[in-house]
Chain A
Amino acid sequence: MEDYDLERLTVLVVEDSLFIRSLIVSSLKLLGVGQVIPKEHGGEAIELLKLISIDPMLAGVQNIDVVFSNWEMRPVDGMMLLRWIRRHKESPDRFVPFVMMTAYSDKDRVAKARDMGVTEFVYKPFTVKALAERMQAIIERPRQFVHTRTYFGPDRRRQQLFFDYEERRELTDKSPGVEIIYG
């Protein structure tokens, strides 16, 4: 393997603070990302994603490989954007890796975003190294997607661990009612 060549990637950055937005955009470009598309809030991002679904030529971009989004924005915040991407029928890619950037790190909020299908978090204040590490995790360790009655998103179990408590996941790949889709 060699160092990642991020030149072919297109990353969407959604952040309402101009200063922070330009910081993230320039950091990602310097890390080698070929195309970085900045948007000011979730609503603008959704407009772009809709356009990609309908007319990628007009949108000027074929697809988005990774989304970096702030949480707290108005009028459409990061959670609403994540929900739209994961659940809306007009979403061009419901599986796109989604990195939530936030100053919130309390357990309830983290769980809320995780249950909405977030892929990674970057906690503010952030470092360039943190951005690079999240990119690396997304490329190196993608997780299967899980779709149940109540959840759609990356597998919330990141690792195979030996638990010292009762296994709550009752189904295996071969259980009735389990469908596996390869692609």
Chain B
Amino acid sequence: MANARNSSGKKPPTIVRYYRFKNRLKEKTLGLGGGTGAVSDEALRRAQEALESMAEDYPDWVNGLVTELANYHGRCVDTPERRHEIFAEIHSIAHDMQGQGGTFGYPLISSFAESLHSFTVPTKNEITDNMIELVKAHIDAMRAVIRGRVSGDGGKIGAELQGSLNEAIERYKNRTTEDVAEQTYDYAFQQTPRE
């Protein structure tokens, strides 16, 4: 302990404590003899392969989440008085999805979820029918990605889906129109790759 004493010989009050411990984790994890002091390439390769194999299941998993979103959308339509509460659920699912898609090779899902997440931020203002339609436009764009297994950036289709959503949100922000969302939804739907 390095601690100075003042002229009266009294120990001054401690302002800051530094804790400096032995590196026990390193002692615990270092084997004997040569090596790189890193996680082994072999372990990394195996883990990466496992991730890729899980990625194959991702569209089925995310499809479940999109179905949940669709159910919430339906409840927004049926019970307008509960929209604020339901929007919070949608916001939460969107948050999870935005962190997942990219990991499994579906950055478009992350991107749409990010947009949905920012669009459903809790508000005290009225949640209008147009906003509900925009939620639906997001859901349909996500469905298009899953149905078509549009991985990566999705090339031209991906760009169009993304563009149509962005455009709808911008237009929504700038003016209140009755049919922006519907047009966007139709547009997104037309771009859906057919199987």
Given contacts A4-B29, A65-B25, contact A179 B14 (CB under 8 A): yes
Interface residues of B (CB under 8 A from A): 1-6, 12-23, 25-26, 28-40, 43-44, 46-48, 50-51, 54, 58, 61, 92, 95-96, 98-104, 107, 110
Report the Cα distance A20→B193, complex, angstroms: 28
Report the Cα distance A127→B50, complex, angstroms: 12
Assess the A129–B44 pair: CB atoms within 8 A: yes
Given contacts A2-B31, A5-B29, A173-B2, contact A182 B15 (CB under 8 A): no
Report the Cα distance A30→B40, complex, angstroms: 11
B-chain residues with CB within 8 Å of residue A144 when the two chains form the complex: 18-20
Assess the A125–B30 pair: CB atoms within 8 A: no
Interface residues of A (CB under 8 A from B): 1-6, 8-9, 16-17, 19-20, 22-23, 26-27, 30-32, 65-66, 72, 74, 95, 97, 101-103, 124-129, 131-132, 135-136, 138-140, 142, 144-149, 155, 171, 173-183
Assess the A1–B99 pair: CB atoms within 8 A: no
Assess the A2–B33 pair: CB atoms within 8 A: yes
A-chain residues with CB within 8 Å of residue B50 when the two chains form the complex: 26-27, 30
B-chain residues with CB within 8 Å of residue A97 when the two chains form the complex: 25
A-chain residues with CB within 8 Å of residue B39 when the two chains form the complex: 3-4, 6, 31-32, 132, 135-136
Report the Cα distance A23→B40, complex, angstroms: 19
Given contacts A9-B28, A144-B20, contact A4 B40 (CB under 8 A): yes
Closest 3 CB pairs of A and B: A2-B35, A125-B102, A124-B99
B-chain residues with CB within 8 Å of residue A30 when the two chains form the complex: 43, 46-47, 50
Given contacts A3-B38, A4-B37, A177-B16, contact A142 B44 (CB under 8 A): no
B109's nearest neighbour on chain A, judged by CB, is A125
A-chain residues with CB within 8 Å of residue B92 when the two chains form the complex: 72, 74
Given contacts A17-B100, A103-B95, A125-B100, contact A171 B22 (CB under 8 A): no
Among B16, B19, B26, B33, find the residue whose CB has the most chain A CB atoms closer than 10 A. Answer: B19
Report the Cα distance A97→B33, complex, angstroms: 26
Given contacts A27-B51, A103-B98, contact A180 B30 (CB under 8 A): no
A29's nearest neighbour on chain B, judged by CB, is B47
